[in-house]
Amino acid sequence: MTNIPICKAPDWATRKPVFSPPANACDAHCHIFGPADKYPYAVGRSYTPPDAPLEQFKKLQSILGLKRAVLVNASCHGTDNSVILDAIAQSDGQYRGVANVDDSFSDEQFERLHIGGIRGVRFNFVKHLGGIPDMGVFHTIISRIKPLGWHVVLHFDAADLLQFEALLDSLPVPYVIDHMGRVPTGDGLDQPAFSLLLEAAQRENCWVKICGAERISTMGPPFTDAIPFAQALLEVSEDRILWGTDWPHPNITRSMPNDGDLVDLIPLLLPQQHLQKKVLVDNPDRLYNFD
């Protein structure tokens, strides 16, 4: 346990953004961590986050002017999805979730997750979170979620996009690519990984999150070098683009963003009001079916 890295805490002094999101705006990628005494972290985790409980998240949403959320159960909680299921149950229909599962889950467990507001599963491919998952388990899970109408969230590094191009061509369920595929902005819009992402984004079953500007930026704050990448994705697929904060920003090794600053990036990413409503309200509502 002593060798497990400890994540930096988020910037707790969230400032109120200048930009006011539209009504029912959704943070489509965020996490709830702990508290550890109630929702213990998995023994085999690759990192230990700071406690970032539901109460803090609700305070954050109030400051940022956001109402809906998609809670992504992070790998540090293993396949115990209690932390997000409990949060969804307290949200009056305003939260949905993405779960961590394995091939030991029964049909009854999947059904309980669905009733609890889960609408997808996530697989990490990035090296710092363990690398490529067991692909046999991956395909088994895909076959299990297809009848439920769920999607799969793929957390790739840029190199993974190239390695798994054939997988993207063949997935029989909708898939969501996190953080613009983590393509480094310094490699330019013409880098092979981003060209592949643009091609994939044109498919009817591919969704992309234009969050993680702080993760792909080469320049650092205020991360404006991520704007051309987000807008290129919008040009090819504005109906299947999502946005999120990624709060509380686990495994950030550089400048910790203030979430008020990230919200104020929205009108730069999405300068037109109809796009703001589409990406922040209509698209997540269509994928997650909020009450």
Residues with a known catalytic role: 246
Contact 117, 87 (CB under 8 A): no
CA distances from 272 to 198, 268, 278 (A): 21, 9, 10
Instruction: Give the pair of three-digit tokens for residue 4.
Output: 């497990």
Q: Tokens 């956001």: give the residue.
A: 66
Supply φ then ψ for residue 36, to 5 degrees: -60, -25
Which helix (H) or strand (E) is 99 found in, with range?
Answer: strand 95-99
Pairing between β-strand 68-72 and β-strand 26-30 as defined by DSSP bridges: parallel
Contact 254, 220 (CB under 8 A): yes
Nearest alpha carbon to residue 285 among 13, 58, 17, 25: 25
Cis-peptide, bond into residue 133, ω within 30° of zero = no
Half-sphere exposure of 34 (CA within 13 A, CB side): 12
Contact 268, 219 (CB under 8 A): no
Cross-strand partners of 72 = 98
